[in-house]
């Protein structure tokens, strides 16, 4: 288990918060356990979402395959929900995948996300989508997939 934080402070509260965060991280399930839980029951959307969240928290930005599975469990109405669509985009779906296509079905919602979210966040999830798609295209030698990332 690793926990890191940056900076120093003369305030005792900062270090108490760091200790609390480290203890919370210690009590969380590791990614390997979450993956086992998900693989044991691939129909469990809660375990899938926990796995995606944990991977994002650890800085693992290639969740394209997992978000494709997550999207399969959603209803059509869910793609009109701001938080759901934002969650899909933040997971870095492949630009030629169903998750990306379904997330972009509500044009007004997409415009709203790109207007309201901070530039750094928008830029980050755009880069995740492009990098994930391009890496998969290179791995599978798929020109059409590479062009969809461009």
- What pLDDT, in 10s, does the model give residues 19-45? 887 777 777 788 888 899 888 888 889
Q: How many other C-beta atoms are found inside a 10 Å radius of the C-beta of residue 150? A: 9
**Are 77 and 137 found together in one domain?**
yes
Where on the phi/psi map is residue 3: left (φ > 0), alpha (ψ -120 to 50), or beta? beta
List CB contacts of 113: < 8 A, sequence separation 6 or more.
Answer: 82, 85, 86, 89, 122
Q: Do 32 and 68 belong together in one domain? A: no
pTM: 0.81
Residues 145 and 123 placed together within one structural domain of the fold? yes
Domain range enclosing 142: 64-150
CA distance 21 to 24: 5
Q: Are residues 89 and 32 in the same domain?
A: no
- If asked whether residues 55 and 71 sit together in one domain, one would say no
Do 55 and 102 share a domain, yes or no? no
* Rounded mean pLDDT, 110-117: 96
Confidence of residue 5 (pLDDT cuts 50, 70, 90): low
pLDDT at 77 over 90: yes
SS3 content of the chain, % helix, strand, coil (to 5): 70, 0, 30
Same domain, yes or no: 111 and 91:
yes
Q: What is the pLDDT of residues 41-64, one digit of tens each?
A: 888 899 999 999 999 988 888 999
Instruction: Please compute the mean of the pLDDT values over residues 112-134 and round it to a whole number.
Output: 95
Query: Are 31 and 96 within one domain?
Result: no
* Number of domains into which the chain is organized: 2
Whether residues 75 and 102 share a domain: the answer is yes
> Are 93 and 75 part of one and the same domain?
yes
Name the average pLDDT for the chain.
89
- Distance CA(25)–CA(43), nearest Å, equals 26
Asked whether residue 55 falls in the same domain as residue 73, the answer is no
Residues 101, 143, single domain; the answer is: yes
């Amino acid at each position: 288990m690793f926990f890191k934080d940056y900076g120093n402070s003369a305030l005792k509260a900062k270090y108490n918060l760091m200790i609390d965060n480290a203890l919370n991280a210690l009590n969380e399930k590791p990614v390997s356990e979450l993956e086992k839980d998900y693989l044991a029951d691939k129909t469990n959307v809660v375990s899938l979402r926990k796995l995606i969240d944990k991977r994002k928290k650890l800085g693992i930005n290639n969740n394209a395959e997992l978000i494709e599975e997550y999207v399969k469990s959603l209803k059509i109405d869910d793609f009109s929900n701001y938080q759901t669509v934002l969650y899909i985009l933040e997971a870095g779906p492949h630009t030629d995948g169903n998750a990306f296509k379904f997330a972009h079905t509500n044009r007004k919602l997409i415009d709203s996300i790109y207007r309201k979210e901070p530039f750094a966040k928008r830029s980050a999830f755009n880069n995740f989508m492009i990098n994930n798609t391009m890496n998969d295209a290179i791995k599978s030698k798929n020109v059409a997939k590479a062009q969809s990332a461009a």
